[in-house]
Structure 1
Amino acid sequence: MSTAPELPKSIETLLNRAVGLPGPAERARLRLAGNLTQAEVAEALGVHRVQVARWETGRAEPRQPHRQAYAQLLHGLATRFPQGESDEMPR
């Protein structure tokens, strides 16, 4: 049986699962296709650059509210830069 202190964590877990994100490699591809740096993405989301790096390597997953904002950014980039259409060289 759930106790009151567990409720916020369980809700956070559900919210995190509810917002789908592409895999880590695709996250990096989309950022690069948009000619964005990790620092620019981090500043826009209000996190440290190292967090964006961790999200792009799969070492961490974003939590709310950053997850929702990151998902919106990635969706917008995916619309502009469908897979296979990027001429951007990895950097």
Structure 2
Amino acid sequence: MSDPLRRDNVLVDADTLPPPHIRRQLRIAANLTQEEVAEVIGVRRLAIVGWEAGHTQPHRSNRLKYAEFLRGLAKKHPTVAQGGSRED
């Protein structure tokens, strides 16, 4: 039998975002523009600007896509994901 609290934690983890400055650093480490990230997520560039600045947060479906995208970047750039400097 599955534990409903554990299932809820998985949902929370699935859409957990790093702090805004880490989001920006991950994008830069991957040599991506805000426009390129916006195309992947399916939003306008200004949405990425707001998310990286911490002024706005993505809605649920975009949040899930963005969190998954950032997790992929974090795997490629673990030092950046942990708050370290950009990897070259």
Same fold, TM exceeding 0.5? yes
In the superposition, the TM-score normalised over structure 2's length comes to 0.75
Aligned to 2:87: 87
CA RMSD of aligned residues (A): 1.6
Spell out, residue by residue over 1:4-56, the C-alpha distance to the aligned partner (whole angstroms, 9 max, x if none): xxxxxxxxxxxxx8221000000000000111100001011111100000000
Q: Which residue identity is paired with 2:64?
A: Q
> Deviation at 1:87?
3.2
Correspondent of 1:41 among 37, 41, 57: 37
CA distance in 1, matches of 2:75, 2:59: 23
More helix by share: 2
Q: Which residue identity is paired with 1:33?
A: A
Mapping of 1:11-90 within 5 angstroms?
Answer: 18=12, 19-82=15-78, 83=80, 84=84, 86-88=86-88
The percent identity for this pair of structures is 43
Q: Which runs of 5+ in 2 are unaligned?
A: 1-10
Q: Which residue identity is paired with 2:51?
A: W
Distance 1:24 1:85, change over 3 A: closer
Aligned residue pairs, count: 72
From the CA coordinates, give the structure whose radius of gyration is larger.
1
In the superposition, the TM-score normalised over structure 1's length comes to 0.73
CA distance in 1, matches of 2:55, 2:75: 25
Query: Which runs of at least 4 in structure 1 moved beyond 4 Å after TM superposition?
Result: none
- My pick for the range that moved more, 63-72 or 79-88, is 79-88
